[in-house]
Amino acid sequence: MSPKKVDYSLYLVTDSTPAILGGKDLVSVVKAAVEGGVTVVQYRDKTSDTAELVQIAQELHKITKPAGVPLLINDRADVALAAGVEGVHVGQDDLDLKTARRLLGPDAIIGVTANSEEEALEASRDGADYLGIGTVYATPTKENTKSIIGTAGVQQILSALAAARYDVSTVCIGGINASNAQRVLYQSTSPQKKLDGVAVVSAIMASSNPKQAAEKLAELVQTHPPFATSLSKPALFRDTLIAKIPEVIKRMASKKPLCHNMTNLVVQNFAANVAIAIGSSPIMSNNGLEAADLAALGGSLVINMGTTTPEIKSNHLKALAAYNEVGGPTLFDPVGAGATEQRRQGVKDIMAGGYFDLIKGNEGEIRTVSGASGVKQHGVDSGASQLSLQDKITLVRGTAARERNVILMTGQVDVISDGERTFTIRNGHAYLGEITGSGCALGTTIASVMAVEREDKLLAAIAGLLMYEIASERAAVREDVKGPGTFIPAFIDELYRIRQESLEGNGDWAKNVQVDLA
């Protein structure tokens, strides 16, 4: 079945229950939504009697048909036939696709709910015109959903469809609204296949102004999210990338960007001192309510989970939304991600709540971010390594491609990737592992560079990482450094010196970088 010419970009599923519709009139809400720009309407009504279903479907069709918007009926091919609408949508437990097709004929639009690769492939093989892929995020609108698959799950299904060469259309469903529609479309995209649209219920049906809600969503789904700056990645080779680093650090030191740190209680002072030393301007604010004002100042955001609590998590989510809205660079440091259930869930919640340009962590943390089960971190330390270097490279590259961001796994050998370009970095010094907050302040350093280098965030991250690690090497060999205690002030001095050298146009500090293409 070749895809029919249908615009699936903003797909409305109706809901007549008081919890969603409130006291509003269903037909009026659909009329407003169509005026606002929804491109498909599915009439979903699990309670009305058949005669009533047909009658309401006919009324809805009087609105959708003149607007060129297909009207589909949830589950009921008989109602679709009786009302003469364009098609049906069937769930996995509804009327089966082949029977629906037999009843409605080849021109009808028939969509199928798919929760997994298997369901998606089967429906495509059997001739579905489109798939409703979900559940993306948990939603009170439909509580008996099978599994929450997130953007990673949607992307996996899209990749499987592309590999099997099905050109079936796709929308995703579950918890989509104006705050996440663009990100969900962006992060669900697989290199071979993208979603054709998003399906929403409450974002429009529960709105007090359905027309405005539809207009807003229609605009959002047609545009890239503000944080998607580097849609065409510069094809940088190792040497061209390395050559740019001193200039990037010089730019950061001259511009003194704001670096907003929502970091843990242990490292606030150290991270702020590091930020000042490298030439950025730190603000250590954990108050989510002021994040929108701070985001407007053009800086970057670090979210560090080191001493998280439920209240801190809610502040993090507010700040992340504020920076995402203006495209301000965001960095996530999931400290101790694999150590406790609270933290494992915290990672899931925050990654479902917004977009991070970069996620950095040690092996245990990045494995947790990737979704690996059974990661046992002993406190915030990574614990004994369980992965070979090649395993780390595969994991980091795959996670970056999945999240469409940059992933940095720190360790004796750091591994960094944006999903396309992957590097290993062997700079740094063991003293960094002997003091508190060295990983956290690295996050501050990288975020500071990302604030000024927004186009290529991989370049920004490598520049920040190298500045940091080379400063540690220079500090460690100083005569006044006798151990971790004397290392700290020397390290801050060396960060400051690299900043000053960079400002003077001297990039010699970056001569001994140990960076390799992986």
Our finding on whether 201 is near ligand 3NM (CB under 6 A) is yes
440 among known catalytic residues: yes
Contact 299, 317 (CB under 8 A): no
From the candidates 108, 184, 277, 440, which is the catalytic residue? Answer: 440
Residue 137 beta carbon to ligand 3NM: minimum distance, rounded to whole angstroms? 7
Q: Give the tokens for residue 101.
A: 């097709």
Residue 90 beta carbon to ligand 3NM: minimum distance, rounded to whole angstroms? 11
Our finding on whether 4 is near ligand 3NM (CB under 6 A) is no
Contact 108, 78 (CB under 8 A): no
Q: Give the whole-angstrom CA distance, residue 363 versus residue 410.
A: 7
Residue 175 beta carbon to ligand 3NM: minimum distance, rounded to whole angstroms? 5
Binding mask 134-153 for ligand 3NM (x = CB under 6 A): xx---x-xx--x--------
Binding-site residue total for ligand 3NM (CB under 6 A)? 17
Q: Give the whole-angstrom CA distance, residue 42 versus residue 125.
A: 23
Q: H/E/C letters for each residue in 133-195?
A: EECCCCCCCCCCCCCCCHHHHHHHHHHHHHHCCCCCEEEEECCCCCCCHHHHHHHHCCCCCCC
Residue 48 beta carbon to ligand 3NM: minimum distance, rounded to whole angstroms? 16
The kind and range of the H/E element at 245 are: helix 238-255
Phi and psi at 242, nearest 5°, equal: -60, -40
Contact 149, 115 (CB under 8 A): yes
Among 173, 302, 401, 490, the residue binding ligand 3NM under the rule CB under 6 A is 173
Name beta bridge partners: 407: 359, 417
| Pairing verdict, β 109-114 and 130-134 | parallel
Give the binding range for ligand 3NM (CB under 6 A) out of 169-177, 248-256, 316-324, 330-338: 169-177
Return the number of the residue (38 or 176) whose C-beta is nearest ligand 3NM: 176
Residue 349 beta carbon to ligand 3NM: minimum distance, rounded to whole angstroms? 16
Residue 325 beta carbon to ligand 3NM: minimum distance, rounded to whole angstroms? 20
Return the number of the residue (145 or 362) whose C-beta is nearest ligand 3NM: 145
Return the number of the residue (85 or 305) whose C-beta is nearest ligand 3NM: 85
* Distance from the Cα of residue 174 to its chain's centroid: 16
Q: Which of residues 70-129 bind ligand 3NM (CB under 6 A)?
A: 113
Give the binding range for ligand 3NM (CB under 6 A) out of 122-130, 172-180, 218-226, 329-337: 172-180
Our finding on whether 169 is near ligand 3NM (CB under 6 A) is no
Give the binding range for ligand 3NM (CB under 6 A) out of 200-208, 216-224, 306-314, 363-371: 200-208
The kind and range of the H/E element at 119 are: helix 117-125
Return the number of the residue (175 or 428) whose C-beta is nearest ligand 3NM: 175
Return the number of the residue (32 or 470) whose C-beta is nearest ligand 3NM: 32
Q: Give the whole-angstrom CA distance, residue 90 versus residue 97.
A: 7
Q: H/E/C letters for each residue in 406-465?
A: EEEECCCCEEEECCCCEEEECCCCHHHHHCCCHHHHHHHHHHHHHHHCCCCHHHHHHHHH
Residue 176 beta carbon to ligand 3NM: minimum distance, rounded to whole angstroms? 6
Contact 441, 386 (CB under 8 A): no
Among 37, 87, 175, 279, the residue binding ligand 3NM under the rule CB under 6 A is 175
Our finding on whether 176 is near ligand 3NM (CB under 6 A) is yes
Return the number of the residue (37 or 361) whose C-beta is nearest ligand 3NM: 37
**Peptide bond before 50: cis, by omega within 30 degrees of 0?**
no
Alpha helices in 337-417 (DSSP H): 341-353, 363-370, 389-403
Catalytic center residues = 440
Residues in the site for ligand 3NM, rule: CB under 6 A?
Answer: 13, 113, 132, 134-135, 139, 141-142, 145, 173-176, 200-203
